[in-house]
Amino acid sequence: MMSPTQDQPLERPAAGKSSASDSFSVATDEFVREPVETPQDDFWVRSFASYLEQHRHPFNRASHMVGIPLLIVTAIAGLVMLDWRMFVGGQLLGWTIQVLGHRIERNRPVLLGDPVAFLMGPLMVLVEIAESFGMRIAFAKRAREIVQPLDPD
């Protein structure tokens, strides 16, 4: 199926079948857009896979699911309220939680060698939250297929 343009109508999926699992966008019950892969997709898949490779341990992943939102929320709140203690305290606590996760996984934080990781951390949190609500995000699915499972050692 060709990707729909403004001139082409969306095609109705076959009964009981949906390609929404391959699509970044959320599909309605009636219409599904086929994904169109671009060179940017390759960048996001590789970058996300690289990030996930360093965050395979469940404790490390959980530490980032807590630490990253803590960093963002306390930074915004501290700046808005002009409270430097909230800002600094939130940053120290958020980074400490994440570093503990990396200690458990026995690796160094990715952002020390890859500045794109500053984007991948919050993106991982957003993807995990979106997927917990049933959304399917194609680049994240493809990235997970690349990442090897965690060794039980």
101 with 141, same domain: the answer is: yes
Low-confidence ranges of the chain (pLDDT < 70): 1-41, 152-153
Question: Shortest CA distance to 21 belongs to which of 32, 9, 36, 10?
Answer: 32
User: From the CB of residue 26, how many other CB atoms can be counted at a distance below 10 Å?
Assistant: 12
Half-sphere exposure of 21 (CA within 13 A, CB side): 4
Q: What is the pLDDT, as a whole number, of residue 40? A: 65
| Counted domains in the chain | 2
- Please say whether the beta carbons of 48 and 125 come within 8 A: no
Q: What is the pLDDT, as a whole number, of residue 36? A: 55
Q: How far apart are CA 97 and CA 120, in angstroms?
A: 17
User: From the CB of residue 31, how many other CB atoms can be counted at a distance below 10 Å?
Assistant: 12
As a whole number, the mean pLDDT across the chain is 80
88 is a domain residue: yes
48 with 26, same domain: the answer is: no
31 with 43, same domain: the answer is: no
151 is a domain residue: no
Q: What is the pLDDT, as a whole number, of residue 42? A: 84
152 is a domain residue: no
Structural tokens at position 131? 């997927």
Q: What is the pLDDT, as a whole number, of residue 28? A: 47
111 with 137, same domain: the answer is: yes
Q: What is the pLDDT, as a whole number, of residue 34? A: 54
22 with 83, same domain: the answer is: no
Q: How far apart are CA 71 and CA 111, in angstroms?
A: 15
67 with 99, same domain: the answer is: yes
Locate tokens 């700046």: which residue? 79
Locate tokens 């306390």: which residue? 74
Q: What is the DSSP letter of 110?
A: G
Provide the residue range defining the domain that includes 95: 39-146
pLDDT digits (tens, 9 = 90+) for 60-85: 999 999 999 999 999 999 999 999 99
49 with 104, same domain: the answer is: yes
Q: What is the pLDDT, as a whole number, of residue 82? A: 97
CA dihedral (115, 121, 123, 126) in degrees, to 10, reads -170
52 is a domain residue: yes
69 with 132, same domain: the answer is: yes
